Structure 1
Amino acid sequence: MTTFRVALLVNNELRRGDESLIDEWRADSDDRLWVDVQEPTQETIEPLLEQRFGFHELAAEDTLSPNTLPKYDSFPNYDFFIFRTVAINVTEHISETYKIAAFLGRNFLFTVHRRPLEAANNVWDRLPGDRRILARGNDFLLYSIVDMMVDAYFPVLEQIEECVDDLQDTIFENADPMQLDELLHLKRDINVLRRSSLPQRELLNQISRGDAKLVQREHLIYFRDIYDHMFRISETIDVDRDQMTGTMEAYLSVVANRTNEIMKVLTIFSAVMLPLTLIAGIYGMNFEHIPELHWLHGYPFALGLMISIAGLMLVYFWRKGWIARPRKRGHDH
């Protein structure tokens, strides 16, 4: 069900209500209007946007499309923006993308989003106690919403970094396939953030340069601050991706070293058993005339020969360092 929240600031007096409050706003006045639309449908939003306020049909179409990337379009009487943010449950590895479309005019702001948006809700709740948010201009109101959307990236990145640090510690202690599975899920989460942050960084760069004509010059510094945050987020994402790649390589290296150790033990065991098998095979042949076959000490001689050869081979492997030998302790000088 489509819900409308309307805030109207007239002579520093704030009024809030539903869409009926829009009728009390005049486009040629200095009154400030904010219309926030949640869960829009084509039947309810297109008459409002296209017919009542004359917004372009392509902008209205982008408003309803769930896959539109962050963008900025300039129209004669308003600016049109698409912003996105991402909410990720790092424990369950469930990600949700939130989109908000904004129509910014001289004295109005329309925001449209499909699902409840925490940033818009927070600003709506703050308005009665701080009406300066709307009094300073609708562009400042837009900044307040976008600023909270961008700042929502930081807690998610911190959680991901903590998970990667924990994985690095446990991998060197005891590498396990579950750790690789967790690492791949974290890498997917960081890629979701990256896909959302890159186009948004470019959009905020456009606004901070002054390309949006309806963003007041004195408020550009606030959008530059958001752009700096978005730039830091993008850099952090790249660092985290590199860290995950390094962690994955460390995991594969630990597993490969463990496999090599196992193969070394099996190879040494096979090498020791080879001459013993040869001796047993020689004396196990069914020939009648074998000199040692009827010798009184033939059996203990064969066993002693096997033990001696095995012992000499183990000593040889140990001296070569192929079998772990105790480390020499350094002497204090």
Structure 2
Amino acid sequence: MFVVEYAVCTGGELRREVGGLADALDRLRSLPDESSFVWIGLVEPSPSDMHELAEEVGLPPLAVAASLRPHQRTRYQLYDRILFVLLKTLQYDDPTSKVETGQLTLFLGERFLVTVRQGAGDPFPEVWANVSAHPGLLRHGAKSLAYAVGGAVADGYNEVSDELATDIAQLEERIFAPGRTNAVDAIYALKREVLEGREAVQPLEVEAREFLSGTLPLTAEAREPYFREVANRVLRAAATIRTSEELLNSILDAHLGQISTWQNEDMRKISAWAAIAAAPTTIAGIYGMNFDHMPELHWSIGYPLVLGVMAAICYGLFRAFRRNGWL
């Protein structure tokens, strides 16, 4: 379903307004001064609506095409005076313990910010709360709102990575609790969810490190402490996800070792009981051959004596296997 939201920033104050795409474009054309800008937010737009907007504000065609296709890889590129940024959004679903992914595309111009959202993950409630709590946040124009959006996306990464870390801790407790459990399927399912997070965060990790080291070509305004904090949030999420991957690999190795140990224990028990059963079976087989010359067959105590020997051998084997930990 195609949804249009827009807001106008004048004098450092962002006001959300009601209307459609045409109204948003009219407001963009009638901005009062150079410090004002318009945010236009599209949710799953149609190609025709997206191309109409692209022609009006001069969005690059290749970037527009990428914004309409879901499941794209995180990337950014500067087209003349428009910065194109494509991010993956993450959302944790509590009932299913699944990580849902979406896509957020940003087109940043001098006097506008266009965002195109596909799939799960909506960072804008946090963006509006952040803007309301920090009135001076938008003093650098549309780029400030773009960084606020990036910060909200990074917070989503951290929320998901923390939830996954909690799931891993619970799974670890379950695996190492007393008793036997086969959690291989659960481990691989959780590895799949961690991989979803890694695919979203990992491409941003290099850029975040370059940002903090000062090697990215950014303006002085872009190096405000708030923007550096966004990069730190990305690095924190990346570190948490990396730790989760390593821990899951260790848990899987340990659990496979557990299963191997349990199988060995079962084989020892089976072998021990088979040996115990073999002793009376062998004796019974010997006396079942019905030879003519077996004197003990005619003894009055022959039958109870053989039963006693069987019982003694079985008991001796049982004690021996029990003492050695096989039973």
Q: What TM-score comes out, normalization by structure 1 length?
A: 0.84
Contact 1:71–1:83 at 8 Å: present in 2 too? yes
Alignment of structure 1 residues 226-241 onto 2, 5 Å: 226-241=230-245
* Cα drift, residue 141 of structure 1: 1.0
- Match for residue 330 of structure 1? none
- Match for residue 219 of structure 1? 222
Contact 2:74–2:87 at 8 Å: present in 1 too? yes
- Match for residue 265 of structure 2? 261
Contact 2:208–2:235 at 8 Å: present in 1 too? no
- In the superposition, relative to structure 1, how do residues 266 and 117 fare at CA in structure 2: closer, same or farther (>3 Å)? closer
Alignment of structure 1 residues 156-305 onto 2, 5 Å: 156-172=160-176, 173-177=178-182, 179-205=183-209, 215-220=218-223, 221-305=225-309
Task: Calculate percent identity across the aligned residue pairs.
Answer: 27
Whole-Å Cα distance in 2 between the matches of residues 204 and 322 of structure 1? 56
Q: 2:181 is matched by which residue type in structure 1?
A: D
- In the superposition, relative to structure 1, how do residues 312 and 206 fare at CA in structure 2: closer, same or farther (>3 Å)? closer
Deviations 1:16-54 (A, max 9, x none): 42313223127x8332222222221111111211x2122
Deviations 1:159-190 (A, max 9, x none): 2222222222222312323x333222111110
Contact 1:139–1:216 at 8 Å: present in 2 too? no
Bigger drift between 78-87 and 224-233 goes to 224-233
Contact 1:32–1:138 at 8 Å: present in 2 too? yes
* Cα drift, residue 152 of structure 1: 1.3
Q: 2:9 is matched by which residue type in structure 1?
A: L
Gaps of 5+ in 2: none
- In the superposition, relative to structure 1, how do residues 318 and 31 fare at CA in structure 2: closer, same or farther (>3 Å)? closer
Alignment of structure 1 residues 1-333 onto 2, 5 Å: 1-12=1-12, 14-17=14-17, 18=19, 19=24, 20-25=26-31, 29-49=34-54, 51-89=55-93, 91-115=95-119, 118-124=122-128, 127=131, 130-172=134-176, 173-177=178-182, 179-205=183-209, 215-220=218-223, 221-318=225-322, 321-323=324-326
Whole-Å Cα distance in 1 between the matches of residues 13 and 185 of structure 2? 56
Runs of 4+ in 1 over 4 A off after TM superposition: 12-15, 125-131, 205-213
- In the superposition, relative to structure 1, how do residues 155 and 31 fare at CA in structure 2: closer, same or farther (>3 Å)? closer
Contact 1:103–1:110 at 8 Å: present in 2 too? yes
Q: 1:150 is matched by which residue type in structure 2?
A: A
SS in 1 for 2:123: helix
Whole-Å Cα distance in 2 between the matches of residues 211 and 103 of structure 1? 22
Contact 1:120–1:145 at 8 Å: present in 2 too? yes
Whole-Å Cα distance in 1 between the matches of residues 30 and 140 of structure 2? 20
CA RMSD, 1 decimal: 2.7
SS in 2 for 1:114: strand
SS in 2 for 1:95: strand
Q: 1:188 is matched by which residue type in structure 2?
A: R
- In the superposition, relative to structure 1, how do residues 12 and 194 fare at CA in structure 2: closer, same or farther (>3 Å)? closer
Bigger drift between 152-161 and 111-120 goes to 111-120
* Cα drift, residue 192 of structure 1: 0.7
- In the superposition, relative to structure 1, how do residues 129 and 249 fare at CA in structure 2: closer, same or farther (>3 Å)? closer
SS in 2 for 1:236: helix
Whole-Å Cα distance in 1 between the matches of residues 48 and 271 of structure 2? 74
* Cα drift, residue 271 of structure 1: 1.5
* Cα drift, residue 156 of structure 1: 2.2
* Cα drift, residue 248 of structure 1: 2.0
* Cα drift, residue 73 of structure 1: 1.0
Whole-Å Cα distance in 1 between the matches of residues 280 and 87 of structure 2? 75
- In the superposition, relative to structure 1, how do residues 176 and 91 fare at CA in structure 2: closer, same or farther (>3 Å)? farther
Contact 2:3–2:44 at 8 Å: present in 1 too? yes
* Cα drift, residue 315 of structure 1: 4.2
Whole-Å Cα distance in 2 between the matches of residues 259 and 41 of structure 1? 57
SS in 2 for 1:118: coil
Contact 2:104–2:116 at 8 Å: present in 1 too? yes
Contact 2:103–2:120 at 8 Å: present in 1 too? no
